[in-house]
Structure 1
Amino acid sequence: MARLSRMSQVPGGAEFVEGWNIIQTLGEGAFGDVKLLISSDGETVAMKTVDLMKHPEAVDNVRKEICTHRMLVHPNVIKFLGQRKENFIQYIFLEYASGGELFDRIEPDVGMEPVQAQKYFLQLLSGVEYLHGHGVAHRDLKPENLLLDESDNLKISDFGMATIFRHKGQERTLEKRCGTLPYVAPEVLQKPYHAEPADVWSCGIILVAMLAGELPWDYPGVDCQEYLDWKESHKSLMNQRPWSKFDPIVFSLFRKILQPLPSRRYKICQIKEHPWMKKAKLRTLGGGSSESSQWPFLHSEASPPKRLMSEGDFAGSGSPMNGAMSRLASSQPDPAVVHTRSPVKLCKNQAPVFSFSQPAQPDDMILSTQMNATQMTCSQNGFQKLVKRMTRFFVSTDMAETLKRLDAAAEALAYRSKVSSPGIVRLSPSPSLIHVTLSTMDRRKMPLAFKATLMELEGQILVDLRLSRGDGLEFKRHFLSLKKQLADIVVKGLVTWPLAAATNTLP
């Protein structure tokens, strides 16, 4: 255990178990972080790490999340691969979604192509319908918690706020206010509330964001004028954004989904029968198979195993691997009593108390100079598996000048900035990288923070921006503002470096 803990904390790259390396942090939460594991042959896994000694208040939430997520197996739900506990360190292993976060596909104030939105919405409904069929409410559905795999299929993630609302046919109402304010249903702010219509409401807000590139209101409360206009069917509604962007058939669908009275709100089966939804071509939702993969880090012993695990060590309810997973999770409460646990409270700053985001940033694939040959191979595979993201661009300046220009742009936009990794990390032939954390307040006066990573790749500087805290659409707006400030040094057109496949390099 001592060796494992030390290795897990080595920055830049360390072997977790034989043949598997920790590359770097993918996302952070209040109680821990999520890291990328990559094998020498290129397999990838996302690993949540929580120090339960440092965060004893997280114990119940972690147990609840494991019990809930482990029983879910669906093509549109991030796969739970297993868990491992080493004394006070809890590891949770999840499918790595290399396609990025859904919000990154949404152009601010524009949205996305309706056909694409229909595809994602159908997949979202399919995943949520599956959750509800198993008595699980997600309670924090939003674009930041919807990931995309390498085949561009949507995956519901982040079950830190999920809860069991139905067990053995008995359904209970929920009391705790959970979620992110612009996406929560109005009844959640009043309580008690029913789980299913609350999640359906969040799906409707996500569809608004996909089609319009903006949110209809800050929160669905009596002192929010935009929501009151919607609730009271104000005559000028069709002249207000975002509703003025929609044709009558789409608007009629929103009227059914965003019905303030939960009892009158459309159920998922009714949404699927709406004329606008029937225009969408039903696509096969491929989930893929993990039968050929093996995960040695699921071993529950204190010391890292010297062998690869068998298929029987995989997690997943309803699969032949379930028995082994039950042994691995023997310390977890029975799902039948999970609902007695207290869920996470809603925070006005909209940052989930226990939430992780998986997509990697370019430096997640860069290791330190302390690598052996296996780690070098691992890194090259990591570059090939770089997550897709539209918030990055190349510049024509060198590292020093780019950092100077970024600092000036941050000052012009009234951002607070902090160079968090001024040191140079080298991986031949790829030189240095620098992290700059930028923070501000968004249009709703909510905290917004994002990280800019400057990386030198084959003689060019890549500026990569990733959301750390706050609303995804607001982050995209600020990304465009920052890029405009740097417009004279942004490299326009296609680039030849392989990263172009995962980078938006057009002006």
Structure 2
Amino acid sequence: MTTLTQLDPLPESLPFEIISKTIGRGAYAAVKKGRSAQGVFAAKFIHKQHALERGRISPRQLKFEVELHKLSSGHGNLIAFYGWGEDDVWLWIAMEFADGGDLFDKIEADVGVSEDVAQFYFAQLVSGLAWMHGKGVAHRDLKPENILLDGNGNLKIADFGLAVLFQYQGKYRESTSVCGSPPYVAPEVIAGKYRADSVDIWSCGVVLFTLLVGNTPWDEPTSRSAEFEMYLESGGRPTYDPWPSVPLEALSLLRGMMALDPKARFTLERVRDHPWFTKPNPHLARNGLCINGVNLATKMMENLHVDFTKAPFSSRSRHQLDDSSRMASTQPVISARAPATDVDFAWERPHHHMFASQPTEAQQEFDSQTLWASLAEDPTMSQFALQPHLSVSLTQNARHFRDICPAQRLTRFFSSYSFRQILPILSSALHRMGIIIAPFKPSDYEDANTETWISVRTEDRRRCPLRGDIIVERLAQDMLQVTFSKNVGDPLQWRRFFKEVTVLSKEAVFTGYGQRVGPSGAAATQV
């Protein structure tokens, strides 16, 4: 398949150095790490022709994204804007690199986070949004994929592609564009006439609900959603799960933020005056930043759990496997109802390695032992323990949030199996989940193979698009890493998918109990 980057190479005369492959992808944009004399940053490259053809985004609208991001920059909970440039093919934006990764990659599906962690991140989200609204700018696409973290665990609002100027010189203007992600969008957006600052508040409410319970309240705020209809019929007091698990004070706040009538909906001022919002938080410093990133990260990591004793989730029929191109999770849904569609090109595949470089043949035997031993101090392995818990030595040696919650994806596991052994296991797991899988190529099973990709195109339990890749790659002679990389869809739904495949493939999964599983399924070499 011809890739977009093969058709149109990135500009040769950039005012900075590109130091990574693609770390984020989209139908017409890619994000790479850049470096200049001022340090490391993220560089978003937008292909102007494809933005127009695929997203109906004109060059003028792209410039508007630049201007609104620049206008909004200057707050600690917003991705900082550094600069931009363009040529005949590309427009690029240099911005802050969020080296703490995705927030919602670190949240357990159907569980959420503790109330104090939810309040901490909600406070930072509201703080950043208040700054934007003070500049007259509304985001219009607040959702998990656009909420990132820095290396100390502080929240960063990202992606200003759907931002709009809702207030100028004291005058308000209504928006009419139907845009956003269905589970997070406000009802009036679908009607096509709304105040953009008010829909941001609704989306914030959905984000808070998702933080607290690990699930969105509905798939879309329309009569097509039975859950949304029950929310309306109960006057914002539904009794079905998971609503009863929401703390009462937070539930009061949620009802105010998700009032159906925009005129009755809470303003940001009312949100910040609410008792649940104003109560002291152990993670929040007076300056609005995280007090202790290590403590926060430890609490979040110990909340993640893959339970091998629990039966897998019920089978789903609306799954299929596909070798088609992929879109990034940050790609906005142009219509709040329209499903994501495939595109006929793909960005270069990003790195997913846990380690900086692939071992050479001469290093493999030594590196194999080193890599297996290193997993004893890998915080991501705690999610496979019977009782998730981080070692004292790890937490004592950690200095930053990212030392406990790394930026790389947490939806991954390690195995001592070979490609020939693990691929049939993954295939069987997907088949049991109702996923149609194309036969692997003979080269996928070869001992000398270094990487195999399985592209997944499916729907989640809410019938929303869920797409990504399962990447099986060799880190050493007897060590494989299996990474579940989401491209489209809700990250919590993707984590459910990861957990189900992992449980169904448990015979091949290294769990970190001081041993790894051998080819026969019995315990093998001590680490």
| TM-score normalised per structure 2 | 0.69
Q: Counterparts of 2:196 and 2:408 in 1: how far apart (Å)?
A: 33
Q: Counterparts of 2:183 and 2:15 in 1: how far apart (Å)?
A: 45
Q: What is the SS of the residue equivalent to 1:152?
A: coil
- Aligned partner of 2:229 in structure 1 is 228
- Aligned partner of 1:399 in structure 2 is 419
Deviation at 1:161, TM superposition (A): 0.9
Distance 1:175 1:121, change over 3 A: same
Q: Deviations over 1:142-172 (max 9, x none)?
A: 1111011111111111111111111111110
- Aligned partner of 1:31 in structure 2 is 28
Q: Counterparts of 2:436 and 2:23 in 1: how far apart (Å)?
A: 22
Deviation at 1:8, TM superposition (A): 8.5
Taking only the aligned residue pairs, the percentage that are identical comes to: 32
Q: Tell whether the 8 Å contact from 1:253 to 1:276 is kept in structure 2 after alignment.
A: yes
- Aligned length in residues: 411
Q: Deviations over 1:66-99 (max 9, x none)?
A: 1111222211111122112122222222222122
Distance 1:208 1:419, change over 3 A: farther
Deviation at 1:460, TM superposition (A): 1.8
Q: Counterparts of 2:155 and 2:438 in 1: how far apart (Å)?
A: 34
Q: Deviations over 1:304-348 (max 9, x none)?
A: xxxxxxxxxxxxxxxxxxxxxxxxxxxxxxxxxxxxxxx984242
What pairs with 1:104-253 in structure 2 (closer than 5 Å)?
A: 104-233=105-234, 237-253=237-253
Q: Deviations over 1:85-144 (max 9, x none)?
A: 122222222222122212212211111111111111000001111111111111110111
- Aligned partner of 2:48 in structure 1 is 52
Distance 1:361 1:481, change over 3 A: farther
- Aligned partner of 2:335 in structure 1 is 346
What pairs with 1:62-461 in structure 2 (closer than 5 Å)?
A: 62-73=62-73, 74-233=75-234, 237-281=237-281, 282-283=284-285, 284-286=287-289, 345-349=334-338, 351=340, 361-363=351-353, 387-416=407-436, 432-458=450-476, 459-461=478-480
Q: Counterparts of 2:430 and 2:342 in 1: how far apart (Å)?
A: 28
Q: Which deviates the most, 238-247 or 480-489?
A: 238-247
Deviation at 1:210, TM superposition (A): 0.6
Q: Counterparts of 2:38 and 2:91 in 1: how far apart (Å)?
A: 24
In structure 2, list runs of 5 or more residues that go unmatched.
291-331, 360-401, 516-527
Q: Tell whether the 8 Å contact from 1:184 to 1:201 is kept in structure 2 after alignment.
A: yes
Q: Tell whether the 8 Å contact from 2:181 to 2:333 is kept in structure 1 after alignment.
A: no
Distance 1:189 1:483, change over 3 A: same
Q: Which deviates the most, 133-142 or 389-398?
A: 389-398
Distance 1:286 1:240, change over 3 A: closer
Q: Counterparts of 1:19 and 1:229 in 2: how far apart (Å)?
A: 53
Deviation at 1:482, TM superposition (A): 0.9
Q: Counterparts of 1:207 and 1:451 in 2: how far apart (Å)?
A: 28
Distance 1:361 1:274, change over 3 A: farther
Question: What amino acid maps onto 2:21 in structure 1?
Answer: Q
Question: What amino acid maps onto 2:263 in structure 1?
Answer: S
Q: Counterparts of 1:362 and 1:230 in 2: how far apart (Å)?
A: 40
Q: Deviations over 1:180-208 (max 9, x none)?
A: 11111112122321122110000000011
Distance 1:239 1:347, change over 3 A: closer
Q: Counterparts of 2:513 and 2:479 in 1: how far apart (Å)?
A: 13
Considering Cα pairs closer than 8 Å and 6+ residues apart, tell me whether 1 or 2 has the greater RCO.
1
Question: What amino acid maps onto 1:389 in structure 2?
Answer: R
Q: Which deviates the most, 109-118 or 26-35?
A: 26-35
Q: Deviations over 1:407-441 (max 9, x none)?
A: 332222233557999989xxxxx993333211211
Distance 1:220 1:473, change over 3 A: same
Question: What amino acid maps onto 1:132 in structure 2?
Answer: H
Distance 1:419 1:139, change over 3 A: farther
Q: Counterparts of 2:489 and 2:31 in 1: how far apart (Å)?
A: 18
Question: What amino acid maps onto 1:346 in structure 2?
Answer: S
Q: Tell whether the 8 Å contact from 1:76 to 1:153 is kept in structure 2 after alignment.
A: yes
Q: What is the SS of the residue equivalent to 1:158?
A: coil
Q: What is the SS of the residue equivalent to 1:218?
A: coil
1:475 aligns with 2:464: no
- Aligned partner of 2:305 in structure 1 is none
Q: Counterparts of 2:232 and 2:162 in 1: how far apart (Å)?
A: 27
Q: Tell whether the 8 Å contact from 2:178 to 2:335 is kept in structure 1 after alignment.
A: yes
Distance 1:392 1:349, change over 3 A: farther
Distance 1:440 1:7, change over 3 A: closer
Q: Counterparts of 2:508 and 2:433 in 1: how far apart (Å)?
A: 17
In structure 1, list runs of 5 or more residues that go unmatched.
288-342, 370-382, 425-429, 497-507
Runs of 4+ in 1 over 4 A off after TM superposition: 5-10, 14-19, 349-354, 363-369, 383-386, 416-424
- Aligned partner of 1:316 in structure 2 is none
1:485 to 492, 504, 507: 504
Q: Counterparts of 2:431 and 2:333 in 1: how far apart (Å)?
A: 36
Q: Deviations over 1:263-317 (max 9, x none)?
A: 1111122112222122242423459xxxxxxxxxxxxxxxxxxxxxxxxxxxxxx
Q: Counterparts of 1:418 and 1:72 in 2: how far apart (Å)?
A: 46
Deviation at 1:463, TM superposition (A): 1.1
Distance 1:495 1:276, change over 3 A: farther
- Aligned partner of 2:320 in structure 1 is none
